[in-house]
Structure 1
Amino acid sequence: MTGPVVVGLDGSPASVTAAWWAAREAVDRRLPLLLLHSWTTQPLNVPVPQEALSKQRYGGQVLRRTEAELLHRHPGLTLTTELVSDPAAEALLAAGETASLLVLGSRGHGSVASFLLGSISLHVLGLAHCPAVVVRAGDPAVPEGWRPSADDRGDIVVGVQQNGPTTAPLLEFALTTAQLHRARVLAVRALPVSSLMTHPHALTEPGDEAWQAAEHGRLGAELAPWREKFPDVELVQRIDRGAPAQVLLAASQHSRLTVVGRRRHPSRLTWKLGPVAHAALHHMPCPVAVVPHD
């Protein structure tokens, strides 16, 4: 992909953290970065009168300040800004038609490992044409300003519940990103506890080694073509029993990025995120990428 990395910037701490994450990603991917601000869709706590001119001035200041900070840190970055009057969700979805990646910020809520997503973010995540990443405000994995990133974040975790075209875009995105960052990919699959009742080894111990070996062999065969396609990326597999969202969350406690999928929708009037994507977006302790698939 050659389109830009696009980040929605409204001046909030969450959007600034997202911009720092997006800038680093753009540099690593050798792509331009676009900072997009909708002056008609600003945070409720913006300390300016509600006149249109004041909103436009505020938006311009936010873009210029963030642009200067990012270019100071990444002098080789190709960066443009855009101040638009379209609603934020509409503007971001339009930019996503040609973007390689959309990046959104999310306020922390409750525990440290929790997101608070607004209707704009959920709308964009449910309809974006390209992969979209949500970054939590103050995420220690993001090298914001002159603060280095946390050094305990390593793996890129991807959920692979089933083989075939549904999983392919997720693995492609995860492995490509890992190759850029020289990271390891952890492919995670959850098996429901009820599967024990239908498995040939169900009458033996639940942790039956033969049963586990068979499941790992099946997943290994599915991942074999990807290991050949990305020979320089370490691809590790993990299978646990439990609900998919819980298994993925447990595997992502120290990851630098978690990748989940969602189905494409034929109409912008009908869209939704699945339960695993919802759980990941609200509870993962790291940035979350939502990758559309057929």
Structure 2
Amino acid sequence: MIDHSTPPAGVLVGVDGSPATAGAVRWAAREAARRHLPLDLVQVLPPSERPHDELRSPSGRAHALLEQAHQVAVATAPEVPVRLSVVDGVAGPSLVATASRARLLVIGARPGTGLADMGVGRTIAHVMGHAPCPVIVVPPDWEPAEDEASRGVLVGVDGSAEAVGAIAFGADVADRSRSTLVTVSVTPRLDGPDEETRRRYLAEAGAGIATTHPDLVVQEVLRRGAPSEALLDVARSGVSLVALGSRGRGAVGGALLGSTSQQVVRFAPCPVAVLPPRAAATWARPERTYAGEGA
């Protein structure tokens, strides 16, 4: 019998039946295999009289939907143990609560409706701003690339405290996938820090990478223009993942989700990892370790 009394401590995927669910499960299963972690597939059902945020075994239509996702996971990484669960509540807060011990939270993006629609959706916005772990948003039409090892992991670096956590997470993913870490700093066209300051941002954010990942190849890129446009331009050149903080440099405490992270998530051609404040702080600590997570 599956134990639903303990919260996920591996890779958690929010399953909702959208076109992006299959891609989200594929990405999560591959990453769970790399990290030697279990996979939790969770569907959030509408609020009911049951206790909110309490995992339980699925039944009926919920079980059928989760079983479809389970088959995708098995086809992708058959060695990864999978648990299927449902929880009652509002999607965003329930996923955040369920992810209290998770290493990663993976969710599918909603399909784009044009440049005028710059939002990422209420659920995604909430988890990107509040989750205790990195949040990976997978585009609706994403498929794993055969040449993933030759594609870099892009990290946006802006001198913020969250950028330190983002670069640590990006380096970890790049090292596990044997790819290059591409750190990008962008100077706005009209104002902003000069090139020397931007280079300092890159150096400070990646100061510990050589120690934690001595064999990792790091490529530093300086761009000028709107941050989101510049990051998307680099991403379209062929990267496997974009990682960045949920807030930009200078964001006030209440601004849990910056415009750059929203636009990159909205239009990136690849999965985007967003580190909310708590997750960024965890990953920024040099002594960060996760028991049970393989090398």
TM category (shorter chain) comes to: 0.7 to 0.9
- The partner residue of 2:184 within 181, 184, 188 is 188
TM-score by length of 2: 0.76
Q: CA RMSD in A?
A: 3.0
User: Residue 271 of structure 1: CA displacement?
Assistant: 5.6
Aligned to 1:64: 67
Matches of 2:202 and 2:19, distance apart in 1: 41
Matched, 1:249 2:232: yes
Aligned to 1:35: 41
CA displacement 1:36-65 (0-9 Å, x = unmatched): 012328xxxxxxxxxxxxx95111111123
One-letter amino acid of the structure 2 residue matched with residue 78 of structure 1: P
- Equivalence map 1:14-25=2 (5 Å): 14-25=20-31
Matched, 1:6 2:9: no
SS in 2 for 1:171: helix
One-letter amino acid of the structure 2 residue matched with residue 161 of structure 1: D
Matches of 1:221 and 1:73, distance apart in 2: 37
Matches of 2:176 and 2:138, distance apart in 1: 19
271-280 or 283-292, larger mean C-alpha shift:
271-280
User: Residue 224 of structure 1: CA displacement?
Assistant: 4.2
**Contact 2:39/2:82 (<8 A) preserved:** yes
Structure 1 residue ranges, 4+ long, deviating more than 4 angstroms after superposition:
214-217
- The partner residue of 2:217 within 234, 245, 250 is 234
Q: In the superposition, relative to structure 1, how do residues 116 and 262 fare at CA in structure 2: closer, same or farther (>3 Å)?
A: closer
Alignment gaps of 5+ in structure 2: 1-7, 48-57, 249-253, 282-295
**Contact 1:157/1:186 (<8 A) preserved:** yes
SS in 2 for 1:194: coil
Aligned to 2:135: 132
Aligned to 2:99: 96
- The partner residue of 1:82 within 76, 81, 85 is 85
Alignment gaps of 5+ in structure 1: 42-54, 143-148, 200-211, 265-269
Q: In the superposition, relative to structure 1, how do residues 27 and 116 fare at CA in structure 2: closer, same or farther (>3 Å)?
A: farther
User: Residue 13 of structure 1: CA displacement?
Assistant: 1.9
Matches of 2:38 and 2:103, distance apart in 1: 10
The size of the alignment, in residue pairs, is 253
Matches of 2:138 and 2:191, distance apart in 1: 35
TM-score by length of 1: 0.76
Identity among equivalent positions (%) equals: 29
**Contact 2:163/2:244 (<8 A) preserved:** no
